[in-house]
Chain A
Amino acid sequence: MTLTGRDLRLAEFLRPGDHRTLIVEMDRGLMLGPVQGLVRLGEALERVKGADAVVLTLGQVKRVYGKLKGRTVPAPIIRADWTNMLRGEGHALPALDVKHVMVAEAEDIALSGAAAGAAFFLVGYDRDRDEAKNMEEVARLARGCARLSIPLLVQAIPFGPRITRDNLFDCISMAARMALEAGADLVAAPYPGSPQLLRELVESVRAPFLLWDRGYEAEKLEALCREAVDAGAAGMMVGEGLFTSPDWPERLRILEGLIHK
């Protein structure tokens, strides 16, 4: 099984110079509905120059691929799954019971010309059966991606009432490790609570590690970014919250500057 395609595709967004990357999630429409700043996806894509990669759903890729052409635009990463986990209190219909399903396969990612696939591995499910299902789905996707030499990014995210401030680090660490063992090529996870813990987390994850944040608080985002870089992470993965501030392209540029100085 050759890894060369995988490496080449990774290098589309993990810059060969500093091995760092800034990824932006623009796929939230699937999970949340229209998000402010992302409603006109095409226009948003034209302005998202500072990012190395953008996460998009298959459905959107078929519509906005025109903005993904050439070698100066961010690399597309395909969102391969769906969850209602992100629909919290503020949402019109908050999730009663967190679910996770697959919406794309490795073949689809290959077909689309994307640089990688992205999927969630959530921990904190009430029923262990759900966690097992999530793992099975991630593992199957990882195998499929490996067969087609496509890198897989797994977002290891603890959620729900079973996660406390005390066990946060351990849960993230466990989920990240499992994602890696299942075959992830990059792992993204939320802030574990302190710079020290972040450093430990980065060290324990052997693959490139990205700090993930939903991006709703601008100053927090920049601070996190700095910490991520200091801790030796490979960059950041920013969620849909970024787009809710009107000057998000500027914010993005700042993040880019912090990561790729």
Chain B
Amino acid sequence: MSLSMVGKEIRLSKIINPEDGRAVVVAADHGFMLGVIPGVENLEATLRKIILGGPDAILVSPGQARELNHLFHGRDAPALLVRSDWSNWGRDKTYTLPARSVERIGVAEARDALLLGASGVVVYYFIGYGEEVKEARHMESLAAFARGCDRIGMPFIVEPVPFGERITGANFAELVKVVVRAAVEAGADAIKAPYTGDPETFREVVDAAEGVPVMILGGAKAKTMRDAMEVVVESLEAGGAGVVFGRQIVQAEDPTVFLTAMRGIVHEGKSIREALRAMISGPVRIQVNRNNCIGCRICETICTESHGLSFIPSKARLHVDYIPPSTYTPFVCTLCGICVRECPTQALEFDEKLHYVRLIPERCTKCRRCVEVCPMKVIRWDDVSDLPLVCDMCQGSPKCAEWCPTEALKITPYKA
């Protein structure tokens, strides 16, 4: 084993956890590529919040690697990754001076990364240039860079990017395989690749990498945390080595919570439900944002389903009122406790830990008082079971809010 390999292994192990072969990485080099975008104006402040969430490594530009070097000190700190090239490809039409032709240049060498104390460097590999000569030059530069990294024992992480109009929905997954393999053959020690969209095709990408760890780009596409987590889980199941989050984390409301949850999933074997639930410890309530409600009634439908009634929205434990022409208002259990108080036989009680309302069927005398007094009118009488249908927050993780597509219903911590 050559010393260079030893160096690469030791450094790479600071990024990719040797116990599970996975990493949760944050890319914070957007300021370099895009200018000031939300989240990077005070990069140090943002990174401090991110570091509290415990990522394995953070990717920054060479300038920031020097400026913010102190954030990486100590064994508890994340490993430092340095971006060693620059490109304008991210500057689409929404940016000032959008890119008209995609250009890429090197800005730091392996040696510079060493001097900065980095554990690895990240370089782009673009495919899809309009002119073939550009791709050829990029490959030439990539190969030279790989050799430089070898000479210094610096892990070399490649970020293949299929881009441009020649890339279509049809050839995308295929191309990801191509560039990943090319990167491996050029000497990549790890890869940061786009998720192909489904586990089957992603497994092919992982196979093409033949053991070189492939982390996915944590989608800007995912609209919700849960979606982002699901994509990560799918990629892990297909053999992926973890995830690199970019804008999603840098611009997240609470990066610490986001990352802690992701770490739970990637390194601690938590299920998505567990990870999400851990984000809000203790009792929850459903926050209603009426303006977002579009009247799809997914909430009502999934409610009955999760209470063993299959699909029958009219028996849901919440309801959406419709006032023509287009106003929708969801009514949910607010944990007001009136039904608990008013029940003459204490057949309704609050759960001690999670504070949701629970029905004790044996005590129910079927007087229907709860139906009468509920101010939200969300308690219905079920003729089939001859019992009231009372919201129990799905025992801690209300499904209606989980499935709501517009966050008209949102799970938030319950404070008495």
Footprint of B on A, CB under 8 Å?
2, 4-12, 15-17, 58, 61-63, 65-66, 68-72, 75-76, 108, 110-114, 148-149
Are A8 and B13 also in contact (CB < 8 A) when A2-B66, A112-B6 are?
A: no
Among the 9-residue stretches B114-122, B251-259, B330-338, B391-399, the one with 4 or more Cβ atoms under 8 Å from chain A is B114-122
Quick check: is B225 within 8 A (CB to CB) of the other chain? no
Partner of B74, one of A6, A16, A58: A16
Residue in B closest to A74 when the chains form the complex, CB atoms: B75
Q: Is B305 an interface residue (CB 8 A)?
A: no
Contacts of A113 in B (CB 8 A): 6-11, 153
Contacts A62-B6, A76-B10: A148 and B79 contacting too (C-beta < 8 A)? no
The yes or no answer to B14 lying at the interface (CB within 8 A) is yes
> Shortest beta-carbon distance, A41 to chain B, in Å?
15
B366 at interface, CB cutoff 8 A: no
* B116 partner, pick from A8, A10, A112, beta carbons under 8 A: A8
**B1-40, CB < 8 A from A:** 1-4, 6-11, 13-14, 17-19
**Chain A residue at minimum C-beta to C-beta distance from B76:** A71
With A4-B69, A65-B6, A113-B9 as contacts: A149 and B115 at CB distance below 8 Å: yes
* A70→B21 CA distance, assembly (Å): 10
B262 contacts the other chain (CB 8 A): no
Q: Is the CB of B3 within 8 A of A2?
A: no
Chain A neighbourhood of B221, CB < 8 A: none
Note all chain A residues with C-beta closer than 8 A to B80.
8
Q: Which residue of A has the minimal Cβ distance to B19?
A: A70
Q: Which residues of A contact B153 (CB under 8 A)?
A: 110-113
Chain A residue contacts of B414, Cβ below 8 A: none
A54 to B194, CA, bound (A): 39
Known contacts A65-B1, A111-B153; is-contact A71 B6 (Cβ 8 Å)? no
Q: Which of B113-131 contact A (CB under 8 A)?
A: 114-118
A111 near B69 (CB under 8 angstroms)?
Answer: no
Q: A7-B69, A9-B117 are in contact. List 17 more A-B contacts (CB 8 A).
A: A4-B116, A5-B118, A6-B117, A7-B73, A8-B69, A8-B117, A10-B73, A11-B77, A15-B75, A16-B73, A58-B3, A69-B18, A71-B14, A71-B75, A75-B75, A110-B114, A113-B7
Cβ of B102 within 8 Å of any chain A Cβ, yes or no, is: no
Contact B9 A65 (CB under 8 A): yes
User: What residues of chain B lie closer than 8 Å to A70, measured between beta carbons?
Assistant: 13-14, 17-19
**Which residues in B have their C-beta under 8 angstroms from that of A71?**
13-14, 56, 75-76, 79
Using A16-B73, A111-B152 as known contacts, say yes or no to A4 and B115 having CB atoms under 8 A apart: yes
Mark interface residues in B57-74 (1 if CB within 8 Å of A CB, else 0). 000000001100110111
Please give the distance in Å from B64's CB to the nearest CB on chain A: 11
Q: Residues of B at under 8 Å CB distance from A?
A: 1-4, 6-11, 13-14, 17-19, 56, 65-66, 69-70, 72-77, 79-80, 111, 114-118, 151-153
A147, closest chain B residue (CB): B115
Find out whether the CB atom of B17 lies under 8 angstroms from the CB atom of A61. no
8 contacts between A and B (CB under 8 A): A5-B117, A6-B117, A8-B73, A69-B13, A71-B14, A111-B151, A111-B152, A112-B10
Please name all residues of chain A whose beta carbon is closer than 8 Å to the beta carbon of B75 when the two chains form the complex: 12, 15, 71-72, 75
| Distance to closest chain B CB from A3 (angstroms) | 9
Q: Max chain B CB contacts within 10 Å: which of A6, A11, A75, A108?
A: A11
Which of the residues B8, B9, B116, B151 comes within 8 Å of A5, measured between beta carbons? Answer: B116
Docked complex Cα distance between A236 and B336 (Å): 62
Q: Which residues from A are CB-within-8-Å of B69?
A: 4, 7-8
Q: How far is the CA of A58 from the CA of B69 in the complex (A)?
A: 28
**Bound state CA distance, A66 and B17, in angstroms?**
12
Q: How far is the CB of B389 from chain A (nearest CB, A)?
A: 51
Residues of A within 8 A of B17 (CB): 70
Cβ B6 vs Cβ A61 within 8 A: yes
Chain B residues lying within 8 Å of A11, measured Cβ to Cβ, are 72-74, 77
Contacts of B151 in A (CB 8 A): 111
Known: A4-B66, A4-B69, A8-B69. A108 touches B3 (CB 8 A): yes
Contacting A110 at CB < 8 Å: which of B66, B70, B74, B152? B152
Alpha-carbon distance between A124 and B72 when the two chains are bound, in angstroms: 41
Set of chain B residues within 8 Å of A2, measured between Cβ atoms: 66, 115-116
CB distance from A16 to the nearest CB of B (A): 4
A108 to B248, CA, bound (A): 39
In whole angstroms, how far apart are the Cα atoms of A5 and B82 in the complex?
A: 12
B74 to chain A, nearest CB (A): 4
Q: Are B3 and A112 in contact (CB under 8 A)?
A: yes
Which residues of A lie under 8 Å from residue B18 when comparing CB positions? 69-70
A12 to B75, CA, bound (A): 6
B10 A68 Cβ-Cβ under 8 A: yes
Known: A69-B13, A110-B114. A8 touches B72 (CB 8 A): yes
Smallest CB gap from A12: residue in B:
B75
Instruction: Give A20 to B212 CA distance when docked, in angstroms.
Output: 37
Most buried by B among A63, A108, A111, A114: A111
- Which chain B residues lie closer than 8 Å to A9 at the CB level? 117
Bound complex: CA A58 to CA B3 (Å):
8
Q: Closest B residue to A2 by CB, please name it.
A: B115
Q: Are A65 and B10 in contact (CB under 8 A)?
A: yes
CB-CB under 8 A from A112, the residues of chain B are 3, 6-7, 10, 153
